[in-house]
Every structure is written in structure tokens, then in C-alpha cells.
Amino acid sequence: MTDTGAGHGTAGHHPDHEVHVDRVDLEFDDALAIANDGSGTGNGTGTGNGTGTSTGNGTGTSTGNGIGTGNGTDTSTGASSSRSAGRGRGVGSSRSADGDGCPPGGEVDTGSRANSPSGDPAPSDHRRHHRPAPTPWPEARDVAARAVGGPLPSVVRALGAAVGEVLAEPVLALTDLPSFDTSAMDGWAVAGPGPWRIAADTGGGILAGHNEPAPLPDGRAVRIATGARVPPGTTGVLRSEHGEVSERGHGRDGAEAAGAAWLRVGPDRGPVAPGQDIRPRGQECRSGDRLLPAGALVTPAVLGLAAAAGFDELSTVPRPRVEILVLGDELLRAGLPRDGRIRDALGPMLGPWLYALGAEVLATRHLCDDPDALHAAVTASAAELVVTTGGTAHGPVDHVHPVLRRIGAPLLVDGVAVRPGHPMLLARLGPGRHLVGLPGNPLAAVSGLLTLAEPLLRVLSGRAPAATARRQRHRTPTALPSTALPSTAFPLTEAVQGHPYDTRLVPVSLAEDPGRAAPLRFTGPAMLRGVATADGLAVVLPGGAGRGDRVEVLRLPWSRTTLPVGAHGFPGPLGTPGLPGSTGSTGSRLPGSPEMPGGAL
């Protein structure tokens, strides 16, 4: 279940944490009673179907119809869950089961699960580990890009199998292009100035694919087709529509030649210039010329060029293999949401998205909230990157951290100072193998995908790294300088309120107002309506950005702008097309002042 309530609280201090209480934080963390494992006392009142009071230290959860605990005021509305600091109990009425028949027992909240369904405190395993300060967003991107040493080892692909990968080495021409002088038009090859005598024994003329023809004497003309080899001695090619043929005529000396047809330039046409409508040998390239650099994306046009230059195979960097593990007893894979369960939005979305980012998706698997099942799936995977959804927090059914500890996988990133999506993580499973843990809320998962998975995949797949600004860390100026990121920074059409400490990723449209980024509505962590019509996610630094301020935009693979968007636009799994240049509704554009997101996960 996604948090939808609102909480207010007063926190004390803990030796390891500095707690800042801020109204803006409360709006972002709609159910968070600002106390990061702090200490304090407070009277909690639940304005739903239950009331309660508590004092204590730690982290607890109030869910649905139950008892809420916290340092301050804890508000729980309806069947939503609100999280607050303080050791206590939350009694809920949630139920869960997997669409494939997972046993009940998992919480409904797909992003952060903090209490057991029975209402008992979370096991100590989820509490005793110190939670490090979140990594600043720019630094998290850098860590993900540096997590791997470089591209995967190159492979040799037949031309048809190389599309969508990048070149592992430059493509050097194996021959001149064209490899001989060819006619650029249908017409006549002529020698010298006209008129020209057309020999009677030329038959159908010179066609493409024929061997080198005999030399053409001065004063003669011969029919020639587009792409055919030009005979030695040719001055130029006279296009069919520019010439006139007569059965009787006189040569340049005025003598009449019987039994021959004559070709003249038509009226209002000038004389044939040397080289006219001839593609000379080597016009496009000479043998040994560099046609394409290493790192270039293999597009259909690249395949055509390589074939024309004589290649049957190309050396490319293979797509990194990715396996997706969708976690959660509460997820349905078909039909309408029912009985407190929700549809899985991430399973259908992540595979094509990762393919557009350059990955080969081996499988998308749905797992119950079972640590042994997760451990078996992660350790058995042959993928370079395992992507999990949900279970990245510290609740009793959030099994990603415990499984990583069990494996002995070091955490490179454990939480990012970004909204939405801060519970994301990056771990090293072994040599050349990593795991990206995404939050369970859909837009938060997109944030994690672009923050951690995209930079890592770019390096593994050999794609050029995305341009990034070298910003000051964390508490920085609210907008990028006007000279920064000229190819990826756009002025905002409307002001966007920022988080006091964290970066915000805000869906924007680049198509409605060309050259400017229009913030969109419906940008809560559990919402996809905004990003479904977006061209990119604007990077709003702590403190926010004003109208006209330039902000970096992480463009999506199907961005409707004509700016380069990297390695995108190729058919995805099951024929799912990329959508560069497509158009669509931008009806969720934000009117007036920007809307704050409904949560923080």
C-alpha cells in the first residue's frame, strides 16, 4: 500500500543524526514524522479509525485501523499507512498475496514496509544496522558509473545481429566508395561535345552490374543506367529527359551519317560539362578512411554503410544482461486491483525501458516476499545486473538488505538524497556483477533506474556517458548556471519548489514549448501519469528553481525533441517500438504553480 496520509511531529536528537523539522519536509514526506531514529516524547492521535499514545525510541509504523506511535502527532487516514519515529505497534487490516499464488503475510506498501502484519515490532535484524546518510544524487550517479571498469569484452556479430549495440572499434573502409566511376542518372554516356552518334550495336546499353565497358570514342554516345560503370573516355552523362534523338543528322564536320541515330542536347539546355552526373570513384570514401568511431551506435543506417564498405561482420560491445526481480505478495499481474492488492506496474515497464537503455533483458521474474526465494534468485542469476523492485527499506518483509548481507555483497550506494526514490541502493554481487535495488513505488523506481542503473549500463554497453554538470554537492545553489549543460539544460516554464536538502527529479514536457521544460502534474512517488507524457526528468537542486532558471533534464528514450537522446529508438522485446519523434497528450502539464509530490519514497 502506498502512503497517503500526513504527519506532524517534534523530534529530539540522536548522537548519529541531526534532525531538521521543516514544513516543506512534511509536505514531501506525507507520512513521515521527521525523526530519523531520534529520541523524544509525544502524544499521537490517529484521525482514522483508532487513537493511541506512545513514547519511546526507534522506528515504528501505524497502518490502517490501528495504533499509531510517534514523536509528536501521528495521523492515519482510512486504510493508509503513516510512518513515525518511536517504538510501538501498528495494527492493520491489510492482506497480501502474489498474483501467482504467494502465501499471505506481506505488507501492501511496495516501497517501504516497516511493520509486521501481526502488529508486532519489526525483528531486530531490521533495526540494529546503522543507516548511513544518503548519498547526494550527483555522487550516486558517479558511483554507479565508476562501479564497473569499462565496457564488456567485445564480440563479433553478423551485421543483422549487431543493431542496437555499439561499435567496439572504428570502422575503416575496406574499399573505395564507390569503387568505380558510376552513372548517377539514367541517360547517355557521351564523349566530347555534341552532337553524338549513337552506335547501332549497343543493344540495351550499359546496365548496372556489367563488367567494365569498352572505351567510348569521341563523338559517340551510349545508353547507360543509374549505377552502371562509366566507360573510359566519357565526358559526362546526359539525362534522358535532357536529350533529343533523331534518325537523321550531321556530325560536327557537317557530313550526314547514314544509318545512325543522333543525340543532341535539348533546347534551353547547356552543353554537357565534364563529370556531369558521374559519381567518381572514392567520392564518399577511400579505402582505409575511418567511417565510424568506436562507441558509435549501430543503427540500420550503419548496417547499410558497413555492408556498402564490404563488411559482413562488426566488432561490437554486447548488451549487458539484466534480470528483473519484482518483489511483493500484494502484486497482481492481471485484472483490476482488488482485496487490498494492486496491479504490478513495474514488471511490464522495466523490461522495455532497460532495453532502451542498452540492456538485454534475460527475464522478468515475480517473487513472493520470501528471503530464501530472493537469495536463490540473486545468487543463481547469470546477469551482469540484477534489478529488484521493492523491499529496499528496513521492514520485516523488506528482504533486500538482509539477503545482501547474507551474500556478503558490499553496498556501494545505500540510499540517495533524491525525491522520489531515496531508498534505492547499489551493491556489488561479485566480479562484474551488480544489483540495483529500486523502491517499489513506480515513479520512485523510475528515479532509481535513471540514477543508478542507467549510468552503470552506459559504461557496460560502451555508450558515451551522459553529459553531467560538476555541481557542488548537496546544499548547492538552486539552479544551474546559464552556461552549464548547453545540450541538456532547459529553462523552466514554471517555478518548481525544491526539497530543502535533497535533489528532486520532476517529469517535464519539452514538446509543448520548444526549448523550455514544462513541469507536469501527477508526480507523486506512486504515480505514472505525469512521466507517461514526459520527455524527461528535470533535476531540481535543493531549494528549488524559479521560472526561467535552467535545469538539467534527463531525457527519456522516447523524448519527442529532435535533440540527440543516445542509444534509443529501436524495437524492444516483443516488438515494442521506441518512440523518438512521437507525439502524444501533454494534458497533465502543470497549470500555475507546480504541484508538490504526494510523498517521498
pLDDT band at 343 (very low <50, low <70, confident <90, very high): very high
What is the reported pLDDT for 65?
37
As a three-state string, the secondary structure of 53-116 is: CEECCCEEEEECCCCCCCCEECCCCCCCEEEEECCCCCCCCCCCCCCCCCCCCCCCCCCCCCCC
pLDDT band at 374 (very low <50, low <70, confident <90, very high): very high
pLDDT band at 420 (very low <50, low <70, confident <90, very high): very high
Phi/psi of residue 311, each to 5°? -90, 140
pLDDT of 334 above 60: yes
Query: Does 512 or 426 have the greater pLDDT score?
Result: 426
Percent of the chain with pLDDT over 70: 65
Query: Does 8 or 258 have the greater pLDDT score?
Result: 258
Q: Which of 248, 268, 269, 266 is nearest to 257 (CA)?
A: 248
Contacts of 175 (CB under 8 A, 6+ apart): 287, 309, 310
- Cα(561)–Cα(172) distance, rounded to whole angstroms? 32
What is the reported pLDDT for 102?
63
pLDDT digits 0-9 by tens, 53-101? 333 333 333 333 333 333 333 333 333 333 333 333 333 333 333 344 4
Q: What is the mean pLDDT of residues 278-289?
A: 96
Cβ 169 vs Cβ 152: under 8 Å: no
Residue whose cell numbers read 543508478: 452
Question: What is the SS3 assignment for 456?
Answer: helix
pTM of the complete model beyond 0.85: no
Q: Which of 305, 287, 288, 309 is nearest to 296 (CA)?
A: 305
What is the reported pLDDT for 258?
59
Q: Which three cell numbers stand for residue 357?
A: 537503455
What is the reported pLDDT for 367?
94
Q: Which three cell numbers stand for residue 345?
A: 506496474
Burial class (CB in 10 A: 0-12, 13-18, 19+), 183: buried
Alpha-carbon Rg for the chain in angstroms: 33
First and final C-alpha spacing in the chain: 12
pLDDT digits 0-9 by tens, 205-264? 899 998 889 999 999 999 999 999 999 999 999 999 999 998 766 555 555 555 678 999
What is the reported pLDDT for 488?
83
Q: What is the mean pLDDT of residues 325-353?
A: 92
- Cα(348)–Cα(77) distance, rounded to whole angstroms? 31
What's the chain's average pLDDT?
74
Q: What is the mean pLDDT of residues 152-164?
A: 96
